Structure 1
């Protein structure tokens, strides 16, 4: 595998969980990282930790539902480090509940963050990738819906599988060797994702499952690193990573 030392990586949803773990791991392996999230004080603290350990890190406060925020993230990354090699679309929410609850606000929020947020990242990064002659889009998707939709997860699974479809579309449009895409779909991971769940039963069940079988966010970060480390002519299109005991 190639070193990450020369990679410039921007990461959304980097204030905790998979995003934070990815930023820390990639920085530890030599990449320069730009941590982006709504919680500015949190990403600033993580960036200070990275720099204290000898790594390179900057921050940017964004809301992925705002296209201009993603453009600003890409611009800040390029201004600071000269280019952007990788954009990791990690921000996501899961205010899941049964469809019969008619939580239309929750449905819209998942569409806006999980799908539109990823598309905003594509729109911001793709022109820069093409201008540079190279770039890598990595999105954290989900195993939800791969083998049938679980109760209360219909809209969440729909947004995540829409992201997977967009990735495949970008892949088949990018056979000129300029843009690489990787969709990483985790199973249960020990994160605070359950905090965004509207339905108390779903929230409690998810927390129990995370406690019982969830893998560390660093495991998913390792999958990101694996994909990013590949030589420029190698594309890891999709990775599914879940606890060994998860059905």
Structure 2
């Protein structure tokens, strides 16, 4: 089925905006939220330039304000009538090696990437249960497959938690019309990972978002993005010794 009305969090830049552009070209109506309304307004101009026939609605949202997550999602639902797909994309990549004085950075990453993602999943699935249909998409990471060192140790842990949460939701909804997809992106060039100059197999934003949207549209349970080489890399990482994992971070 065609998911016409799509909500994306963290949609003012990076992967969120990149996916929105591809959905705009496909003629989908978009409910977009992020912290900065001015950045969203600029994004809307870009999207309507791609396809002036779609509807683009904007709302400011700090996903760490959990009550606001529910309010914004419900407001979008009321405005659009129904929401067909919700993409839990908002996240941050700040962090520091454990025990080096960076607790506040690591805490912010944990709160944004897991606790706020939990609030988004709760709000989304409440809407989908009431509608008796919908497609929940969560963006985990290839870092979820194993523990990683240094500044991304907490980030990797939050993405593992999100992947497990998504699978639990998928199990809960097995006998319903509601679908759940978990994406495991590799290194896609965004502001979050721009400083990781030696990131292996990194692709540009357009290539990465094209692969993300293709996987989303397939509504598969899980997908590595891009499929090559990350499907193969998953098997390697799961079997890798710690000395090999140290080279990835």
The 8 Å contact of residues 166 and 182 in structure 2, kept in 1 or not, is answered as: yes
Which of structures 1 and 2 has the larger relative contact order (alpha carbons within 8 angstroms, sep 6+)? 1
The 8 Å contact of residues 91 and 113 in structure 2, kept in 1 or not, is answered as: yes
Q: Distance in 2 between matches of 1:240 and 1:76?
A: 32
Q: Which moved more, 1:125-134 or 1:70-79?
A: 70-79
1:57-108: CA deviation from partner (whole Å, max 9, x where unpaired): 1111100111122112212321221111111111111112211313111121
RMSD: 2.2
Q: Name 2:172's counterpart in structure 1.
A: 173
The 8 Å contact of residues 62 and 68 in structure 2, kept in 1 or not, is answered as: yes
Asked if residue 43 in structure 1 is aligned to residue 47 in structure 2, the reply is no
Number of residue equivalences: 229
The 8 Å contact of residues 129 and 178 in structure 1, kept in 2 or not, is answered as: no
Gaps of 5+ in 1: 196-203
TM-score (norm 1): 0.84
Deviation at 1:152, TM superposition (A): 2.9
Deviation at 1:244, TM superposition (A): 4.3
Aligned counterparts, 1:114-129, within 5 A: 114-129=113-128
Deviation at 1:3, TM superposition (A): 4.3
Aligned to 1:126, what secondary structure does the other structure show?
Answer: helix
Aligned counterparts, 1:96-175, within 5 A: 96-175=95-174
TM-score (norm 2): 0.84
Deviation at 1:48, TM superposition (A): 2.0
Q: Name 2:243's counterpart in structure 1.
A: none
Distance 1:124 1:145, change over 3 A: closer
Q: Distance in 2 between matches of 1:51 and 1:159?
A: 34
Q: Which structure 1 residue ranges, 4+ long, deviate > 6 Å from structure 2?
A: none
Aligned to 2:183, what secondary structure does the other structure show?
Answer: strand
Q: Distance in 2 between matches of 1:40 and 1:111?
A: 24
Alignment equivalent of 2:214, drawn from 226, 229, 232 = 226
1:168-216: CA deviation from partner (whole Å, max 9, x where unpaired): 1011111122321111111111101147xxxxxxxx4x1x136x85212
Q: Distance in 2 between matches of 1:32 and 1:151?
A: 40
Q: Name 1:209's counterpart in structure 2.
A: 198
